[in-house]
A and B are shown apart, each in its own frame.
Chain A
Amino acid sequence: MENSFSYQSRIDHLRSRKFAQTREKIEVEGLLDEDDYGRVLPPANAWKSIPNHPDGSFYGLEGWTQNFCSLMDSHPVYVDPNDAFAGRWVYFMSRMRANKWNPNYPFDHLKENIEKYDIIAGIGDDAHFAPDYKLGLSLGWQGILDKIEHYRKINTSPEQIKFYDAHEQVVKSIQGWIERHIDLTEQRIQEETDPKLKANLEEMAETNRNIVSQAPQTLREAIQWIIWYHLASRTYNRDGAGGQIDEMLRPFYEKDLAEGRIDREKAVYMLACFMLNDTIYWQLGGPNKDGIDQTSEISFLILDAADKANCSINLTIRVHDGMNQELYDKSLYYLIKNKNAWPRYSGDKALVEGFMKNGFDAQLARQRIAVGCNWMSLPGLEYTMNDLVKVNMAKVFEVAYQEMMQDKSDKPSTERLWTIYTPHLAKAVRTAADGIRHQLKYQKYNEPELILNLLSHGPLERGLDVSDGGAEYYNLAIDGAGLAIVADSFAALQLRIEEEKKTSWEEVTYHLESDFEGIEGEKIRLLLKNSPRYGQGNSLGDQWAKKIGEEFTQLVRQESNPELRHTFIPGFFSWANTIGFGQHVGATPNGRKSKTPISHGANPCPGFSKDGASLALACAVAQIQPGFGNTAPMQWELDPTLATQDQAQLIGSIIKTHFELGGTLINVNIMDKDQILDAHKDPAKYPELVVRVTGFTAYFSMLTPEFRQLVVERILES
């Protein structure tokens, strides 16, 4: 009992400290439209990057190695006697450069189309694939150094020698950073007067002494090891990918339990500290490669720990036929209890079947798990550029519409618009794919993945960066954004102009150009907006959404090249770019005003359904899945009056049905409308309010007013 009180009070302390740190960040650094992560503020005499290029930025093996090692050497150390683990991250190193792409490798040939179609090309972006933590846990830092040593003797070109040197230096600088934590912990032990906290610090010091070189042996060592690797990787380039957390930790937990080193309470305490450390994306439950469910006792403890930490948390439950019903029920219980946007759910069936369509087997497909914002990855096996490359399909639509109206050689029609739209979409997709190809060729000279290479299968073995042929697979993601805007626009034009003849092409064009000004403009805007939209079920909008989705899917697939091992995989996702994308698009024929946000990911436009919105949403998003193993997530704003424990089974049945219908990922928010409105007015009043913005969660108070507005509208109109 005493123990439980002491664990709980430590967790409470860590939680409130985390909230204070978030507040500090907002005060000093301002608002930010992204995840809170677990980062803390840099010190006053902050580290500064060391340029190695006339443009003031740093590039390539030398640049990144030199900067990372220098940063690690001066990185603040962080020890809290209440915490089971040492360490926090402080610097976004990849954001501390003047320029993110090495100008020696220009992509000027792509720039025109990138701008024309409003493409987020992802050139120079990083991470967004998953390391294999199991590899790290089995090798330890010394094991990794030994591996580097081993392959240095095999791959001996001068470039490869430099490659291995760089990785060796990086590992040693991480070890040096850990050693400085050991020193600080030992100092704290001397100062600590509370016997329990002192004992905790002693354990912390011993844990770190054990793993500074050797592979972890206990649960505490394993988690601390994951934290070190992860914090280093975050610092390097904001990598936030996790893995199958329960199965990864299970052997350590079971061994500790069998050898009497741990009890369940202590395990939950440690796991809660782990959850508070950073918002890494972890998957729970789900099948192993042979299809057997991986749920074990520690899966439940992780949920209990997340409940205790109850901060911004990214746990995904994999829903499949053989799933553990108890785990599912418990996850729903916590979803409803905390209303804090965790966990979220992924659908095994469609993900596996879809990924297999790329020519992979079921065993591999089941290992492609939820470890990122909207994305799946094969830990340690692939390079993906997940969530980095996006085509603004609404912008492509605008280009096509204007071209049709300007070219008077033929009469406007939706049929003609479609024949103009599709080649533009093809060009946009080709541009995005060319951007990825450019990245694959030159990213090693720009930003080698020095940390993620360490836990990938291939880069060290081959002496090649993961972006440069080092990885086993190249499953390259391109996402389409604004699907609903385009579908609803086509549907509105077809119905109102061609079928009902209630308006004309000229009239619509006039009002688009004047942004639906005046009462006549508003009338036409509502006529268009009230057309049968995507999401209403078997509507004209649904038909267009399917057609556009299929076209996009096929165009992305066409970019694949088996000889180069390039598999391009389509998805529908817009991340937090809905505002930015919207600013580049004028008024659209779905009744959307100029410069307002585009639709969110695969979701229909807000307000699409008069009732039963949850079911309509679940049906609609399931229907437009691209179907090759990447996601088109369902962003679900669940009405809080529905979110009661006695409705848990119903909520669970909606989730399951979405996945049966073909869905891949569900992000859930349960948000009281009055509360969100109040929080929008006075964010400081709700420092602990967490929303799932897209795939990621964030403290509502950390978002910019524009983004808060967007989230509020989405919730109000749901």
Chain B
Amino acid sequence: MIGRITTIQRMSLHDGPGIRSTVFLKGCNMHCGWCHNPETLSMNPELEWIQQKCIGCNSCTEVCPTGAFSLKDGKPDFQKNLCTSCFDCLQVCYAEAINKIGREVTPEDVFTEVEQDFPFFSNSGGGVTISGGEPMLQPEFTKQTLALFKKAGIHTALDTNLSISWKQYEKVLPFTDLVLADLKMMDNALHQKWTGRHNTTILENIYKLDASGVPYFIRTPVVPDINDNEAEISAMAAFVASLKNVKNYELLPFHTLASCKYTNLKLKNPMGQTQDLSKERLERFQEIVKYTINHREKGGQTEDTE
């Protein structure tokens, strides 16, 4: 069984409880404009050029058969549209300015790589998280990987956009201790516009997940000028409040740290002009969420006469 991943990040602190290793699977069925991991969008291996690391030795321009690496004003330059991903240049770039993003691994490979951090997991209540991209585009690999860890007694989490057929989720949930489910916005038209897909399946799947008994968090990326308004946040909070078994609702502020990834991958950054979501605004939205959820809970608990 082979899966395509970009990387395994050690000491990930934002993908579930404790110290975790997060496995980023390559390939996504959405194309969210604010994506923080653009290197996971395409299923295929691709080339990244970190210009700051380039020492101008010109070895790449000498070997590149297509001219994707060529001299421009006497300096090496990379034109992605010419690149056929032969990776000849990778072999000659000693400066590690050229990287191949994407490698093929088996679930056992992942297990072996993560194994060294098991002692940190057990002391911190952490574990492994399968993320992406959208891991459920590789459901069998995801299932087998989760199963391996689960069998070893390691806490497992699945970070998914919940847009895939529920049948697939039914296969992986028995090996999943926690689901990190994305909820990007309630407005279906805007959802379609900004992610490339509608949210009907997602909302249905959240209800199914809620009924399944598997612990889960809902997480919303809050992006300036897209969903950072009170109406949208309140609507999502109200939806979350209507769920019975959700363990946590997190707002993830948009940040610009990923912009260099777009540059290195020669990808257009749809949010190139967007600023970080300010701390004040995030706190304001967190207040709204808190209020909405508390209000809703209180409303439900009519016998509580406190």
Contacts and interface: CB of A to CB of B under 8 A. Distances in A.
A537 B112 CA distance: 11
B55 A527 contact: no
A660 B94 contact: no
A611 interface: yes
What is the size category of the interface that chain A forms with chain B? 20 to 34
Nearest to B117: A615
Contact of B10 (A519, A527, A530, A616): A616
B100 to A, nearest CB: 14
A614 B94 contact: no
Contacts of B274: none
B96 A530 contact: yes
Nearest to A525: B94
Contact of A526 (B9, B95, B117): B95
Given A615-B11, A653-B123, A519 B116 contact: no
Interface in A104-154: none
Contacts of A653: 18-19, 120, 123-124
B11 A522 contact: no
Given A523-B55, A523-B59, A612-B11, A660 B119 contact: yes
B42 to A, nearest CB: 21
Interface string B105-125: 000000000001101100110
Nearest to A537: B116
B120 A654 contact: yes
Contacts of B59: 523
A656 interface: yes
A654 B94 contact: no
A519 B123 contact: no
A492 to B, nearest CB: 11
* Size bracket of the B interface: 20 to 34
A400 to B, nearest CB: 25
B119 A650 contact: no
Contacts of B9: 611-612
Interface in B47-72: 55-57, 59
Nearest to A641: B13
A657 B120 contact: yes
Interface in A621-670: 642, 647, 649-650, 653-654, 656-657, 660-661
A657 B119 contact: yes
Contacts of B96: 526, 530
Given A612-B9, A650-B13, A527 B94 contact: yes
A660 B118 CA distance: 12
Contacts of A612: 9-12, 21, 117
B10 A656 contact: no
A556 interface: no
Classify the interface of chain A: helix, strand, loop or mixed.
helix
Nearest to A651: B124
A187 interface: no
Nearest to B124: A653
Contacts of B10: 611-612, 615-616
A647 B13 contact: yes
Interface string B25-65: 00000000000000000000000000000011101000000
A519 B120 contact: no
B55 A611 contact: no
A642 B13 contact: yes
A538 interface: yes
A612 B55 CA distance: 27
Nearest to A522: B55
Nearest to A614: B11
A519 B76 CA distance: 14
A488 B195 CA distance: 46
Given A519-B56, A657-B119, A615 B19 contact: yes
Interface in A253-311: none
Contact of B57 (A523, A611, A657, A661): A523
B19 A519 contact: no
A491 interface: no
Nearest to A528: B94
Nearest to A538: B116
A661 B57 CA distance: 43
Contacts of A650: 13, 18-19, 124
B95 A523 contact: yes
A653 B18 CA distance: 9
Contacts of A508: none
A524 interface: yes
B257 to A, nearest CB: 11
Interface string A161-193: 000000000000000000000000000000000
Contact of A649 (B11, B56, B117, B124): B124
A513 B132 CA distance: 47
A523 B117 contact: no
A527 B93 CA distance: 8
A674 B96 CA distance: 26
Interface of B: 9-13, 18-19, 21, 55-57, 59, 94-96, 116-117, 119-120, 123-124
5 contacts: A519-B57, A526-B96, A527-B94, A657-B120, A661-B119
Given A526-B94, A654-B120, A654-B123, 5 more contacts: A519-B55, A523-B95, A530-B95, A611-B11, A653-B120
The 6 closest A-B pairs by CB, nearest first: A612-B10, A653-B124, A527-B94, A653-B123, A612-B11, A526-B95
